[in-house]
Amino acid sequence: MDATHRPIRSFVLRQGRFSPGQQRAYEMLMPRFGIPFSPVFLDLDAVFGRNAPKILEIGFGMGETTARIAAEHPENDYLGVEVHTPGVGALLKRVDELALTNIRVIQHDAVEVAREMVPPGSLAGIHVFFPDPWPKKRHHKRRLLQQAFAELLASRLAPGGYFHVATDWQEYAEHILATLGAVPALENSHAGFAARPADRPETKFERRGRQLGHGSWDAIFRKRTPSQGDDP
């Protein structure tokens, strides 16, 4: 079996609190901004109605960071993938409040979305911010960023496109750095970890952790260009 067709999920579905505002946004806006899962490559320009750089954001949580980045970068289009309904509703509520037009949402497993819906070479960037670290060793197989998935994601980047991962779990950060570093199509943009870029907003949980003396780590890689020996 292809390793990208893994039956082990990197998430556990939890309903969580679904506020009336989130539910209203979900019901009203998902038909406009949501894309149903289908095992067919998307025409991303047609989905967004324009030709602009496309950024894939995997696991956007409650969507605050996604909405802020999209608002600050109207020149880009953002495709967010999230499985948890309250988070989707929360992002759509922010989309409405900020009158954003450059976000679309797929509520489905990111592995299947990347494999079945995102065309090869179509992305200018990928964001994976604070994925579940699954800290217990027996759960490491559930971690999102395994070698096969990292290679699949790299294939969806256009040459020169970036792959940005952030985590507040040091052991997972080191695993991520090693995993991305082993993907032939990628090269590290920094000597090891990167400082948090100004265009990745600090989350409230990250800020609270920093105040308690906890760290966070950013890894930023780029897709090699054909002249660097990568396949086009």
CA distance 231 to 81: 27
132 part of the active site: yes
Adjacent-strand bridge partners of 123: 157
Helix axes 85-97, 20-33, angle to 10 degrees: 80
Identify the CA nearest to 186 among candidates 218, 145, 220, 144: 220
Catalytic residue among 132, 168, 199, 231: 132
Residue whose tokens read 């217990």: 136
> Tokens for 122?
């179509």
> Tokens for 194?
């990167």
Residue whose tokens read 């090891």: 192
Q: Would you please indicate which residues are annotated as catalytic (active-site) residues? A: 132
